[in-house]
Amino acid sequence: MRNKIVIIDYGVGNVHSVAHALKFLGYRNVVSREPEVIAQSDAFVLPGVGAYSEAAVNLERYNLVEVLNREVVEREKPLLGICLGMQILGNCSQESPGYRGLGWIDFDVVEIPAGQDLKVPHVGWNTVTAREEHFLLRNLEEEPHFYFDHSYYAHAKKAAVAAYCDYGSQLPAIVTSGNVVGVQFHPEKSQNNGLKLFRNFFNYFGVKPC
Protein backbone atom coordinates (compact mmCIF):
# COMPACT_ATOMS: atom_id res chain seq x y z
CA MET A 1 0.00 0.00 0.00
CA ARG A 2 1.33 3.41 -0.98
CA ASN A 3 2.20 5.70 1.96
CA LYS A 4 0.57 9.04 1.33
CA ILE A 5 2.82 10.98 3.73
CA VAL A 6 6.38 10.27 4.84
CA ILE A 7 7.67 11.96 7.98
CA ILE A 8 11.39 12.22 7.34
CA ASP A 9 13.42 10.57 10.11
CA TYR A 10 16.88 12.16 10.06
CA GLY A 11 17.66 11.94 13.76
CA VAL A 12 16.67 15.44 14.86
CA GLY A 13 12.88 15.52 14.58
CA ASN A 14 9.90 15.15 16.85
CA VAL A 15 8.69 12.51 14.43
CA HIS A 16 6.31 10.52 16.61
CA SER A 17 4.33 13.54 17.79
CA VAL A 18 3.83 14.54 14.15
CA ALA A 19 2.86 10.99 13.21
CA HIS A 20 0.33 10.88 16.03
CA ALA A 21 -1.25 14.17 14.93
CA LEU A 22 -1.55 13.02 11.32
CA LYS A 23 -2.98 9.66 12.36
CA PHE A 24 -5.56 11.48 14.50
CA LEU A 25 -6.59 13.44 11.38
CA GLY A 26 -6.92 10.23 9.39
CA TYR A 27 -3.84 10.55 7.17
CA ARG A 28 -1.90 7.41 6.32
CA ASN A 29 1.72 8.14 7.19
CA VAL A 30 5.01 6.47 7.95
CA VAL A 31 8.21 7.58 9.67
CA SER A 32 11.15 6.68 7.43
CA ARG A 33 14.52 7.66 5.97
CA GLU A 34 14.56 4.94 3.30
CA PRO A 35 14.85 6.33 -0.26
CA GLU A 36 12.50 3.72 -1.72
CA VAL A 37 9.81 4.58 0.84
CA ILE A 38 10.26 8.30 0.22
CA ALA A 39 9.96 7.78 -3.55
CA GLN A 40 6.59 6.06 -3.12
CA SER A 41 4.97 8.88 -1.14
CA ASP A 42 2.71 11.79 -2.07
CA ALA A 43 3.96 14.37 0.47
CA PHE A 44 6.51 14.93 3.21
CA VAL A 45 6.92 16.45 6.65
CA LEU A 46 10.43 17.46 7.73
CA PRO A 47 10.37 18.01 11.51
CA GLY A 48 13.36 19.26 13.43
CA VAL A 49 14.51 19.83 17.00
CA GLY A 50 18.16 20.48 17.87
CA ALA A 51 21.28 21.85 16.21
CA TYR A 52 21.45 23.06 12.60
CA SER A 53 24.81 21.34 12.09
CA GLU A 54 23.40 17.96 13.13
CA ALA A 55 20.45 18.39 10.77
CA ALA A 56 22.73 19.25 7.84
CA VAL A 57 25.13 16.38 8.57
CA ASN A 58 22.34 13.82 9.02
CA LEU A 59 20.62 14.73 5.77
CA GLU A 60 23.88 13.87 4.01
CA ARG A 61 24.69 10.88 6.22
CA TYR A 62 21.39 9.18 5.46
CA ASN A 63 21.60 10.04 1.73
CA LEU A 64 18.44 12.12 1.94
CA VAL A 65 19.53 15.19 0.00
CA GLU A 66 19.51 13.46 -3.39
CA VAL A 67 16.16 11.72 -2.95
CA LEU A 68 14.47 14.81 -1.49
CA ASN A 69 15.80 17.00 -4.29
CA ARG A 70 14.36 14.55 -6.80
CA GLU A 71 10.97 14.14 -5.13
CA VAL A 72 10.42 17.71 -3.89
CA VAL A 73 12.25 19.88 -6.43
CA GLU A 74 12.01 17.83 -9.62
CA ARG A 75 8.70 16.00 -9.05
CA GLU A 76 7.21 18.90 -7.07
CA LYS A 77 5.76 16.85 -4.24
CA PRO A 78 4.72 19.03 -1.27
CA LEU A 79 6.90 19.28 1.82
CA LEU A 80 6.19 20.94 5.16
CA GLY A 81 9.24 21.86 7.27
CA ILE A 82 8.75 22.39 11.01
CA CYS A 83 11.01 24.50 13.29
CA LEU A 84 14.58 23.30 12.56
CA GLY A 85 13.09 21.47 9.59
CA MET A 86 11.95 24.86 8.32
CA GLN A 87 15.35 26.47 8.92
CA ILE A 88 17.19 23.75 6.99
CA LEU A 89 15.11 24.67 3.91
CA GLY A 90 17.25 27.82 3.59
CA ASN A 91 20.89 28.42 2.72
CA CYS A 92 22.88 28.47 5.97
CA SER A 93 22.70 29.36 9.66
CA GLN A 94 24.56 31.71 11.97
CA GLU A 95 24.33 28.90 14.53
CA SER A 96 26.55 26.55 12.50
CA PRO A 97 28.95 28.36 10.13
CA GLY A 98 30.19 26.16 7.31
CA TYR A 99 27.13 23.92 7.17
CA ARG A 100 24.73 24.23 4.25
CA GLY A 101 20.98 23.88 4.16
CA LEU A 102 18.90 22.51 1.30
CA GLY A 103 18.70 25.92 -0.36
CA TRP A 104 15.10 25.51 -1.53
CA ILE A 105 14.02 28.88 -0.15
CA ASP A 106 16.36 31.86 -0.30
CA PHE A 107 17.10 32.86 3.30
CA ASP A 108 19.81 32.68 5.94
CA VAL A 109 19.09 31.74 9.55
CA VAL A 110 20.16 34.32 12.14
CA GLU A 111 19.99 34.59 15.92
CA ILE A 112 17.09 36.35 17.61
CA PRO A 113 18.56 39.50 19.20
CA ALA A 114 18.11 39.42 22.96
CA GLY A 115 16.80 42.54 24.66
CA GLN A 116 16.29 43.73 28.21
CA ASP A 117 12.78 42.32 28.33
CA LEU A 118 13.23 39.68 25.65
CA LYS A 119 14.29 36.17 26.56
CA VAL A 120 16.01 33.91 24.06
CA PRO A 121 15.03 31.24 23.20
CA HIS A 122 11.53 32.30 22.25
CA VAL A 123 9.45 29.64 23.99
CA GLY A 124 5.69 29.50 24.34
CA TRP A 125 2.53 30.59 22.63
CA ASN A 126 2.50 33.52 20.23
CA THR A 127 0.15 34.88 17.62
CA VAL A 128 0.85 34.51 13.91
CA THR A 129 -0.15 37.31 11.53
CA ALA A 130 -0.48 36.67 7.80
CA ARG A 131 0.90 39.24 5.33
CA GLU A 132 -2.10 38.44 3.18
CA GLU A 133 -4.61 35.60 3.00
CA HIS A 134 -2.81 32.26 2.93
CA PHE A 135 -4.15 28.74 2.50
CA LEU A 136 -2.21 27.44 5.51
CA LEU A 137 -4.23 29.65 7.88
CA ARG A 138 -7.62 29.05 6.27
CA ASN A 139 -10.52 28.58 8.73
CA LEU A 140 -8.43 29.82 11.66
CA GLU A 141 -9.04 33.01 13.62
CA GLU A 142 -7.46 36.20 12.31
CA GLU A 143 -4.33 35.92 14.48
CA PRO A 144 -4.12 32.28 15.61
CA HIS A 145 -1.85 31.15 18.43
CA PHE A 146 0.88 28.58 17.83
CA TYR A 147 3.61 27.12 20.04
CA PHE A 148 7.19 28.32 19.41
CA ASP A 149 10.57 27.09 20.70
CA HIS A 150 13.55 28.62 18.88
CA SER A 151 16.61 30.86 19.22
CA TYR A 152 17.14 31.51 15.50
CA TYR A 153 14.85 32.64 12.70
CA ALA A 154 14.72 32.81 8.91
CA HIS A 155 15.96 36.19 7.67
CA ALA A 156 13.97 36.00 4.45
CA LYS A 157 12.91 38.40 1.73
CA LYS A 158 9.34 39.65 1.99
CA ALA A 159 8.21 37.66 -1.05
CA ALA A 160 9.03 34.37 0.71
CA VAL A 161 7.28 35.26 3.98
CA ALA A 162 3.60 34.35 4.32
CA ALA A 163 3.22 35.24 8.01
CA TYR A 164 5.07 36.74 10.97
CA CYS A 165 5.14 36.52 14.73
CA ASP A 166 5.99 39.51 16.91
CA TYR A 167 8.92 38.90 19.26
CA GLY A 168 10.81 42.15 19.67
CA SER A 169 10.43 42.57 15.92
CA GLN A 170 8.52 40.83 13.17
CA LEU A 171 10.04 37.36 12.76
CA PRO A 172 9.00 35.16 9.83
CA ALA A 173 6.70 32.41 11.10
CA ILE A 174 5.75 30.89 7.73
CA VAL A 175 7.94 30.86 4.61
CA THR A 176 6.92 29.46 1.25
CA SER A 177 8.19 28.72 -2.23
CA GLY A 178 5.78 26.79 -4.44
CA ASN A 179 5.30 23.29 -3.06
CA VAL A 180 7.71 23.90 -0.14
CA VAL A 181 6.36 25.46 3.06
CA GLY A 182 8.16 26.02 6.36
CA VAL A 183 6.71 26.95 9.74
CA GLN A 184 8.88 28.16 12.62
CA PHE A 185 6.37 27.01 15.23
CA HIS A 186 5.31 23.47 16.16
CA PRO A 187 1.85 22.59 14.79
CA GLU A 188 2.07 19.19 16.49
CA LYS A 189 2.22 21.04 19.85
CA SER A 190 -0.35 23.70 18.94
CA GLN A 191 -3.53 21.78 19.72
CA ASN A 192 -6.54 22.46 17.49
CA ASN A 193 -4.85 25.24 15.50
CA GLY A 194 -1.99 22.92 14.64
CA LEU A 195 -4.36 20.18 13.50
CA LYS A 196 -6.20 22.65 11.28
CA LEU A 197 -2.91 23.79 9.79
CA PHE A 198 -1.86 20.23 8.94
CA ARG A 199 -5.23 19.64 7.31
CA ASN A 200 -4.99 22.89 5.33
CA PHE A 201 -1.54 21.99 4.03
CA PHE A 202 -2.42 18.52 2.80
CA ASN A 203 -5.85 19.50 1.46
CA TYR A 204 -4.32 22.33 -0.56
CA PHE A 205 -1.95 19.91 -2.29
CA GLY A 206 -4.64 17.28 -2.84
CA VAL A 207 -3.51 14.78 -0.20
CA LYS A 208 -6.67 13.43 1.40
CA PRO A 209 -7.21 11.39 4.58
CA CYS A 210 -7.79 7.67 4.19
Residues labelled as active-site residues: 83, 186, 188
Q: Is 102 exposed, middle or buried (0-12, 13-18, 19+ CB in 10 A)?
A: buried
Amino acid, res. 163 = A
CB distance 15 to 31 below 8 Å:
yes
Residue 146: C-alpha distances to residues 85, 112, 126 (Å): 16, 18, 6
CB distance 22 to 203 below 8 Å:
no
